Structure 1
Amino acid sequence: MQQDLRALWFPVASSGDLPLRHVYQGQLLGLEFAVWRADDGAVNVWENRCLHRGVRLSIGLNLGSELKCQYHGWRYANGDASCLYIPAHPANAPARTIRNRVYRSVERYGLIWSAIEPLAEPPVIPELETAEPLALRPMPVAAPASRVVEALRSYAARLGAEAVEPAAEVPPAGAFALRASWRRDGEVEAAAFFVQPTAARACVIRGLLLGDVAEAERVATLKAHNAALTALREEAEAADAREPDAAAAVEEAKIPLSPRVTTVAGGERAASGEAIRVRVARKWRVAADVVALRLEPISGALPPPAPGAHVDLHLPNGLVRQYSLTNGPAERDAYVVAVKREPQSRGGSAAVHDAVREGDLLAVSPPHDNFRLARGGGRHVLLAGGIGVTPLLAMAKALAATGRSFELHLFARSEEHAPFADDLGGLGASVQMHTGLDPTATGDCISAILADRADDAYVYVCGPAPMIEAAVARAEQAGWPDSAVHFEHFGNAKAVDDSTAFEVALARSAITVAIPAGRTITDVLREHGVSVPTSCEQGACGTCITTVLEGKPDHQDVFLSKAERASDACMTPCISRSLTPRLVLDL
């Protein structure tokens, strides 16, 4: 029975419980939730604890795109609940794997629905699809949910009305949902009741009155139902106190704290890197030589991506390639990626264009969010080169949804070569197209865009390597600080020198390994049972960034900024090496 309850969808809040910049404390089967609406309209249902000291997040601050714990100021991102900020943490950059536990949610019929381990999609109740039900006041009851459901079967009598037909279960919501109808003053009325089991012997009744209620009669109607539900509560609690029924009490869910504190919807796959099975629901052309794929999960939920994130896509020919997600904040039921056909393809883009078909089953990794929007910022400048628009499109959607100032500049050979023209058109005047420019003209245009810099502005660049290098150089010339310039490469075209040999000491693991010529640090560490998360393994994505405690790295990546390389405080062990005989890493 317990497994069945964990798999069922229940309302955990009403839409009215989630005004902007508010956090609501919900509960289901003994688990506490922090439920909050972001400024972009997305509803989050998280485990109600900060990962630092377990303080309830329901007493935290809803900042619109983040939730801030008031104890020590940890901040968590809208959507994937990843930790964005830890006060006093080096560089204010917490490990990217620190995430709170997220539960799937959907807002429907004026209610917020969630489930602990859903095995199906949220309930669709046809009668409510076309109605505008009037929500009754939620009624907490200190009695088992099953006893309350039985009491609701005689709800008409509690109103002093005649039942039109026996109360019946509402499919497909199951045994915790009833539809009751009655005749009062010659009129037939009906309501749907959903019983939310909050704890072993406690629940909440959430009722929706079906049919139209005149505005002048709403207050009196709500008072009548509140009185009936209050009487029902008192009777159910009294009956349970006289004759407690142990069999009626639901078993509370017990979810132990993960030692890695990195769980998201769909189990712990985001922490472990487990591949997620997806179906190609749609494949379509979005520009010349560019196709997009809509990837829907075979079962369960997809971990919500942060704007700018990418996934590892496992292709039919055995190759694994990294592609950025274009998802906006509210686009959580599928991942959308775009792939340009490369003339010198090593098999990845050719497989997507020629071999992948609608209906195919593929696998993706959980999102890697290493190209993030900066917290705050008064102006965000997005510079995209061709297919490089994909992560920046996701950023632009997020900025637009929260009303933050941005401008997206897309450089393309022609309008036909500009991906996602429809999506870009929906962003209005914030998008500017630059077509047919040669490299010199492109550089001059970027210089003009970056000439007027505000102190709280940020620039983000994604596209071909020459364009990124030009943009970074022009930003430096215009006085942009290194910390305000963010970029993402498609790959690493630099020649790699792996001729050196050195040793690596792992401070936390207390082992030292020899890295021979021709072998990467991550390869050797795997052989010794130390797993470093990787994605591109070219030094382009930043997934493997590791803190350096001693020694001088030989940086061969294209991900770190000039300042980060100069500091030698971190490195990408998937490709970089050492200029000193010994490196000490924080692993």
Structure 2
Amino acid sequence: MKKIQVVIDRRTDEAKDVVRLVLRRQDGENLPAFSPGAHIDLFLPNGMTRQYSLIGDCSETDRYEIAISRAANSRGGSLCVHSALNEGNALDISEPRNNFPLQAGHETFLFIAGGIGITPILSMIRHCERRGWPWRLLYLARSRAHAAFHDELSRFGDRVRFHFDDEAGCLFDFTDASFTLEPGVPIYCCGPAPVMNAVEDFSSSHPDNPAFFEWFSPPAESGAREVAAGFDVKLQSSGQVLHVPEDRTILEVLEEHGYELPCSCREGMCRTCETGVIDGLPDHRDYVLSGSERAAGRTIMICVSRAKSPMLVLDV
């Protein structure tokens, strides 16, 4: 994976427990182009790699801007950002990737954000504004103090509807008659699992409104998943055949045999470990591939996905 060295040009507090970082190249050159909904990897000084959405206007590549919420149950990523990253620090990032793009064929949008889930949505709003596309936003947060970019979004008037749990005394009710949606308008949603699950339920009763989601963590399984079976992988470069037992992932087996491959989340969420499939039938268990990509079967997330065929030949 190609890494880009940047420096933290500015750090500001955006909301309670939310910090905003502006990243620039040290030589002042532009950064790679990105599309609305894209994210980058941050290679943190504690050795962790974490993904954060780009919040800026994709027409402006002199800098990248990200916002990170300090998670109460942080496994070390957001805690490192909040406690160890300061203005002037240099760090490595990846080139942008996009698992949550605006789909072609729509020019009117409903955005739903829960908490820090506003980050990929914000770049989409900026994109729509530049093109004059109509949009609306429902922004759900625990409190006004936790709502990042509240002041900026308030300037859009009635196109933005805020719901603060503490002020309302309850979570948002998607069956509320005041919440309406015209047929054909797509829904783009990012936020914690309760918000995502509620929007999934809402969208299931609105089949004319396609819904697209960016998950923070793997959604809860709705039913029992087929028990994993062992299979073999053949490495195209060397011809080596390795067995993947039922209690190991492809990534773990490759690592056990000395292969160092890019990875981050190990949950099928970030696309960092994406690997080409030369032959065989993948059993996709990720949360990032599109339906057409799954059907093509030419790529696999080796951190979670398995095989439906006895062997997979991988582009490794």
Normalised-by-shorter TM-score class: 0.7 to 0.9
Higher relative contact order (CA 8 A, sep 6+): 2
Which residue in 2 is equivalent to 1:414?
Answer: 143
Q: Structure 1: how far apart are the matches of 2:237 and 2:103? A: 30
Which residue in 2 is equivalent to 1:573?
Answer: 302
**Partner-residue secondary structure (3-state), 1:384:** strand
Classify 1:369/1:567 alpha carbon distance in 2 versus 1 (closer, same or farther; 3 Å).
Answer: closer
Flag as ranges the 4+ runs of structure 1 deviating above 4 A.
Answer: 437-440, 493-500, 505-512, 523-535, 545-550, 563-571, 583-587
Q: Structure 1: how far apart are the matches of 2:237 and 2:45? A: 38
TM-score (norm 2): 0.82
Q: Is the 8 A contact 2:280 2:307 kept in 1?
A: no
Which residue in 1 is equivalent to 2:216?
Answer: 490
> Cα distance, 1:350 vs. partner?
1.0
Q: Structure 1: how far apart are the matches of 2:214 and 2:71? A: 18
Which residue in 2 is equivalent to 1:328?
Answer: 57
Classify 1:396/1:442 alpha carbon distance in 2 versus 1 (closer, same or farther; 3 Å).
Answer: same
Which residue in 2 is equivalent to 1:284?
Answer: 12
Classify 1:355/1:576 alpha carbon distance in 2 versus 1 (closer, same or farther; 3 Å).
Answer: same
Which residue in 2 is equivalent to 1:444?
Answer: 175
Aligned with 1:398 (options 107, 127, 137):
127
**Partner-residue secondary structure (3-state), 1:539:** coil
1:454 correspondence with 2:183:
yes
Q: Is the 8 A contact 1:489 1:541 kept in 2?
A: no
Structure of larger gyration radius: 1
Q: How does 1:39-438 map to 2 (within 5 A)?
A: 273-299=1-27, 300-436=29-165
Deviates more, 1:546-555 or 1:369-378: 546-555
Q: Structure 2: how far apart are the matches of 1:320 and 1:452? A: 38
Q: Is the 8 A contact 1:553 1:583 kept in 2?
A: no
Which residue in 1 is equivalent to 2:243?
Answer: 514
> Cα distance, 1:558 vs. partner?
3.5
> Cα distance, 1:406 vs. partner?
1.2
Classify 1:498/1:337 alpha carbon distance in 2 versus 1 (closer, same or farther; 3 Å).
Answer: farther
> Cα distance, 1:525 vs. partner?
5.2
Which residue in 2 is equivalent to 1:176?
Answer: none
Q: Which amino acid aligns with 2:183?
A: A
Classify 1:440/1:426 alpha carbon distance in 2 versus 1 (closer, same or farther; 3 Å).
Answer: closer
Q: Is the 8 A contact 1:498 1:518 kept in 2?
A: no
Which residue in 2 is equivalent to 1:501?
Answer: 230
Q: Which amino acid aligns with 2:125?
A: A
Q: Structure 2: how far apart are the matches of 1:505 and 1:471? A: 41
Classify 1:346/1:401 alpha carbon distance in 2 versus 1 (closer, same or farther; 3 Å).
Answer: same
> Cα distance, 1:516 vs. partner?
3.2
**Partner-residue secondary structure (3-state), 2:175:** helix
Q: Is the 8 A contact 1:506 1:586 kept in 2?
A: yes
CA displacement, residues 264-313 of structure 1 (integer Å, 9 cap, x when unaligned): xxxxxxxxx32211111111111111111111111232112211111111
Q: Structure 1: how far apart are the matches of 2:79 and 2:293? A: 35
Which residue in 1 is equivalent to 2:267?
Answer: 538
**Partner-residue secondary structure (3-state), 2:204:** helix
Q: Structure 1: how far apart are the matches of 2:74 and 2:227? A: 24
Q: Which amino acid aligns with 2:233?
A: V
CA displacement, residues 426-464 of structure 1 (integer Å, 9 cap, x when unaligned): 44442221211577634435x964x53433x22111000
Q: Structure 1: how far apart are the matches of 2:178 and 2:271? A: 29
Classify 1:352/1:531 alpha carbon distance in 2 versus 1 (closer, same or farther; 3 Å).
Answer: closer
Q: Is the 8 A contact 2:283 2:307 kept in 1?
A: yes
Q: Structure 2: how far apart are the matches of 1:354 and 1:378? A: 41
> Cα distance, 1:425 vs. partner?
3.2
Q: Is the 8 A contact 1:500 1:517 kept in 2?
A: yes
Q: Is the 8 A contact 1:283 1:293 kept in 2?
A: yes
Which residue in 2 is equivalent to 1:553?
Answer: 283
Which residue in 2 is equivalent to 1:474?
Answer: 202
Q: Which amino acid aligns with 2:122?
A: L
Q: Structure 1: how far apart are the matches of 2:15 and 2:215? A: 20
Q: Is the 8 A contact 2:114 2:141 kept in 1?
A: yes
CA RMSD of aligned residues (A): 3.5
**Partner-residue secondary structure (3-state), 1:441:** coil
Q: Which amino acid aligns with 2:14?
A: V
Q: Structure 2: how far apart are the matches of 1:374 and 1:416? A: 32
Q: Structure 2: how far apart are the matches of 1:509 and 1:369? A: 31
Deviates more, 1:533-542 or 1:389-398: 533-542
Q: Is the 8 A contact 1:554 1:579 kept in 2?
A: no
Q: Structure 1: how far apart are the matches of 2:172 and 2:154? A: 24
Classify 1:297/1:466 alpha carbon distance in 2 versus 1 (closer, same or farther; 3 Å).
Answer: same
CA displacement, residues 531-563 of structure 1 (integer Å, 9 cap, x when unaligned): 9765533211345276696436162x34457x6
Q: Structure 1: how far apart are the matches of 2:245 and 2:19? A: 41
Q: Structure 2: where are the runs of 5+ without partners? A: none
TM-score (norm 1): 0.47
**Partner-residue secondary structure (3-state), 1:294:** strand
> Cα distance, 1:507 vs. partner?
7.9
Classify 1:425/1:547 alpha carbon distance in 2 versus 1 (closer, same or farther; 3 Å).
Answer: farther
**Partner-residue secondary structure (3-state), 1:444:** coil
Classify 1:377/1:548 alpha carbon distance in 2 versus 1 (closer, same or farther; 3 Å).
Answer: farther
CA displacement, residues 330-381 of structure 1 (integer Å, 9 cap, x when unaligned): 3321111111111111111111111211111111111111211112303211
> Cα distance, 1:568 vs. partner?
8.7
Classify 1:560/1:448 alpha carbon distance in 2 versus 1 (closer, same or farther; 3 Å).
Answer: farther
Classify 1:553/1:377 alpha carbon distance in 2 versus 1 (closer, same or farther; 3 Å).
Answer: same
